[in-house]
C-alpha cells in the first residue's frame, strides 16, 4: 500500500521515529523502516520510503512472519488495504499529515 506525504518539513527519519518506526537501512534511493509488534521482531509493519523534493512516498506492508526459503522464496506479507494494515495507514496519516 502506498501513502504520499506532501511538503514534509523535517527529516523523514525523525518523522517516522516519532511514529514508532526504527530505521533499518538505505537501499539505493529508498530507506527501510520497521515497527515490530513483539520482541521477536514479527509480526511487524515494514516500509520503504523515498523522498522526492519535499514529498515523501511510503510503501508499507505487514510482515506476518519472517520470510522462508526453500525451492522458492516466500514472503509472508500483507499488502491490501484492510485489517491491521488499514488501521496503521490511518494512524500514520494522522501523525504525518
For the segment 58-86, what is each residue's pLDDT rounded down to a tens digit? 999 998 877 655 555 555 555 567 788 89
76's CB contacts (< 8 A; 6+ apart) are 63, 64, 65, 66, 67, 68
The structure's pTM equals 0.83
Give the 3-state secondary structure of residue 95.
Answer: helix
Q: State the pairing for strand pair 30-36/44-52.
A: antiparallel
Higher pLDDT, 69 or 33: 33
Q: Which fold does the domain 2-96 belong to in CATH?
A: TATA-Binding Protein (3.30.310)
Amino acid at each position: 500500500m502506498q501513502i504520499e506525504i506532501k511538503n514534509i518539513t523535517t527529516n523523514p527519519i525523525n518523522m517516522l521515529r516519532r511514529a514508532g518506526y526504527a530505521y533499518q537501512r538505505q537501499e539505493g534511493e529508498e530507506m527501510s523502516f520497521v515497527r515490530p509488534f513483539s520482541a521477536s521482531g514479527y509480526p511487524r509493519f515494514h516500509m520503504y520510503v523515498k523522498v522526492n523534493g519535499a514529498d515523501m512516498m511510503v510503501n508499507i506492508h505487514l510482515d506476518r512472519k519472517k520470510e522462508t526459503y526453500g525451492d522458492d522464496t516466500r514472503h509472508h506479507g500483507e499488502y491490501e488495504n484492510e485489517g491491521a494494515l488499514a488501521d496503521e495507514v490511518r494512524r500514520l496519516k494522522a501523525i504525518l499529515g
